[in-house]
Structures are given as C-alpha cells and as structure tokens.
Chains A and B, each alone.
Chain A
Amino acid sequence: MEIELVKIQAICGVKASFYSFREQGNDKTKFEEFLRIYNVDHGNEVMNILGRLRSMSSKESIEEGYLKMGEGRPGDGVCALYDRPRSILRLYAFKLSSQILILGSGGVKPKHIKALQQDPILTYENSLLRRISKTIDTYIKEGDIYYQNDGLEINGQLAFEI
C-alpha cells in the first residue's frame, strides 16, 4: 500500500505539529475520515480530542501521559487518543517525537471489548499505524525522512510503501 503523509495545518502550533496520511487514490486523510464518520454520533468526544490536540500544539507539546501508549509493538510509538475515562472513541496515532504526532483513524471501542483484536475496524486502523511507524523509523535512521523547523516538521520521503 502506498501512502502519503500530510501536515494538518489547522491544528499545528508552536509546540507541536500533527500529520495524517492518505492512501494512494484517496483524497481524504485517515484523520479526516475519522472526523467525518465519528463527528455525527460522537460529536462531544471528537470536540474533546480536537481541544486536546490544540492544547498540545499551542501550549504543552506532546506529553506521553496525554496518550495511551503501548497500542502497537513494544516501544514503537503507536498510541491512542481517548478523550475521557468514560469515552468509547479510540483514535490511533504514532508519536514520532514530543513535537510530532501522526494521526490515523480509529473507531468505537465499547467497554465490553477488552482487546482491539476483537474489533476488525480497530484492528485494521491500528495495523496501519504499526506499519507506518516501522517504515518511518527506518527512513529516519537512513536519513530519508528528517526533521526541520526546530523539530516541528518532517520532510523528505513522505510518500512511501508500507
């Protein structure tokens, strides 16, 4: 699968930047799909997620505590944004650094589901972030993707196969 990383200017700020990605042939990023689908029935949770992202980008940067880490392979940076303890929406992301978060999509994770593997949508969206994190890590080590603008931007090979 060929994907392209896209910076989401509207929620970027002086403390952090957010990227998402789109699959080849799709004009919408995964994060846009997430907002469009889940804003309908879970508007409050979507608002809270956006508010938190704006807080991170404008005031605090990306503290690990803000995220539910450990949603991928050990140490791969794949995480989830859940807005409140009683929320059921799960947005998967990849924490590249304390200043850059790659946002994917996610879905509804009701409390009776203990593991994401019990839900095919969550499994799929999570797997995309795992593959992206692995590829980006390799590209960064090889210098094909690099940081700019004091760590608030990434450039280089932003379109790649996963």
Chain B
Amino acid sequence: MEDNFNDIIEELLNEITPLYQAQTDAKMSIAARIADAMKAKGWKKKDLLKAVGKTNQSVITAWLSGTQNFTVDTLVEIGMVLDINFLNINNNIIKFKVQDDKNQSDTFDLFSQITQLNNHEGRKYRSLA
C-alpha cells in the first residue's frame, strides 16, 4: 500500500521539471536566508518592516513564505538592511590609468569612484582591464 503511494508521489514529482524545481528551491533559499538574517539581528517582522520603510506586514510574510518572485531591486534593498549579499556581486576593481600630467593613479573601486572620475572634465581615461 505504502509502496504504491510512494510510486504515485514519485510519478508526480517526476512531472516537476528541473527548471521549476530550481526556481522553487531558489525562492525557498532566499526566504530562509532572510529568516536567518532576521534571527541573527534579533529582528521580528515589524523590525524588518520598519527598516525597509513599509507598513503592511503581509509584505514580510510573503518574503518569508518561499513563494516570492523577488525583483533585483527588492533583493538589493533587503540585502542592505540585513547585510546579505543575495546576488553575490562584489564591487569589481578595474584598473584605470588617468592620463594626467600631475596625478596618475590606478585601481579604482568601480562603483564608488567611476562617477567621480567621469565628472572631471578634460581627463581621458582608458581601461587597463
């Protein structure tokens, strides 16, 4: 009886495509990481709610449910308040040589420095990367 039922479940599970399972796993994993980070900070749902500036607690419930299809923007926002790097993106360091008579410097943090560099008129930059 139990073997028959397990066979039925196996059949149903086999109908789940690898892509669908991977998507499910990813959503569940993100939810678990949010929950773990909240626990580490000693936060309740209302604390996370306040940190992201929202008012409806059902948003947090959805985030923790493992069903949420997050946007990148939302993951970045949650990551910032919970100190999680969901996307595992590090600031890339690209070497730039500043063609400047007086100052030459290389190796800039891409995200924080590129805007500053671009704001300097008259300087030409070439990537060494």
Report which A residues bind B (CB closer than 8 A). 6, 8-11, 27-29, 32, 35-36, 39, 46-48, 50-52, 54-56, 59-60, 63-66, 83-85
| CB-nearest residue of chain B to A65 | B64
The interface-forming segment of B10-18, B108-116, B117-125 is B10-18
Q: Which of A29, A32, A55, A84 contacts B25 (CB 8 A)?
A: A55
Using an 8 Å CB-CB cutoff, how does the interface string of B61-78 with A read, 1 for contact, 0 for none? 110111100000000000
Would A59 and B28 count as touching, CB distance under 8 A?
yes
A8-B6, A55-B25, A60-B29 given as contacts; is B64 within 8 A of A39 (CB)? no
Question: Residue B82 at the A interface, CB < 8 A?
Answer: no
- Contact between chains at A10 and B6 (CB < 8 Å): yes
Q: Are A63 and B9 in contact (CB under 8 A)?
A: no
The smallest C-beta distance from A70 to any residue of chain B, in angstroms, reads 11
Contact B16 A32 (CB under 8 A): no
Q: Which of A9, A35, A51 contacts B20 (CB 8 A)?
A: A51
B5 touches A29 (CB 8 A): yes
Q: Chain A residues with Cβ under 8 A from B7's Cβ? A: 10
Please tell me if the beta carbons of A63 and B13 are within 8 angstroms of each other in the complex: no
A9→B6 contact, CB < 8 A: yes
Q: Specify which chain B residues have a CB less than 8 angstroms from the CB of A84 in the assembled complex.
A: 67
Q: How far is the CA of A51 from the CA of B28 in the complex (A)?
A: 10
A54 near B21 with CB under 8 A, answer: yes
Report yes or no: B12 in contact with A52, Cβ–Cβ below 8 A: no
What is the interface size of chain B, counting residues whose CB is below 8 A from a CB of the partner? 27
Complex: how many Å from CA A63 to CA B28? 9
Inter-chain CA distance A8–B9, complex, in Å, is 9
Report whether A60 and B32 are in contact in the complex, using a CB–CB cutoff of 8 Å: yes
Least CB distance, B33 to chain A, in whole angstroms: 10
A47 contacts B6, C-beta separation under 8 Å = no
The minimal Cβ–Cβ distance linking A136 to chain B, given in whole angstroms, is 20
Across the interface, which residues of B come within 8 angstroms of A35, CB to CB? 8-9, 12
Are B28 and A47 interface neighbours, CB within 8 A? no
Nearest Cβ on chain A to B95's Cβ, whole angstroms: 39
| B94 contacts the other chain (CB 8 A) | no
Assuming the contacts A55-B25, A59-B29, asked whether A66 and B66 have C-beta atoms less than 8 A apart, the reply is: yes
Q: Check if B2 is an interface residue, CB within 8 A of chain A.
A: yes
Neighbouring B residues of A55 by C-beta, 8 Å: 21, 24-25, 28, 66
Q: 28 A-B pairs, CB-CB below 8 angstroms? A: A6-B2, A8-B6, A10-B6, A10-B10, A10-B13, A28-B5, A32-B5, A35-B8, A47-B20, A48-B24, A50-B13, A51-B21, A52-B66, A54-B13, A54-B21, A59-B28, A59-B29, A60-B32, A63-B31, A63-B32, A63-B66, A64-B35, A65-B31, A65-B35, A65-B64, A65-B65, A66-B64, A84-B67
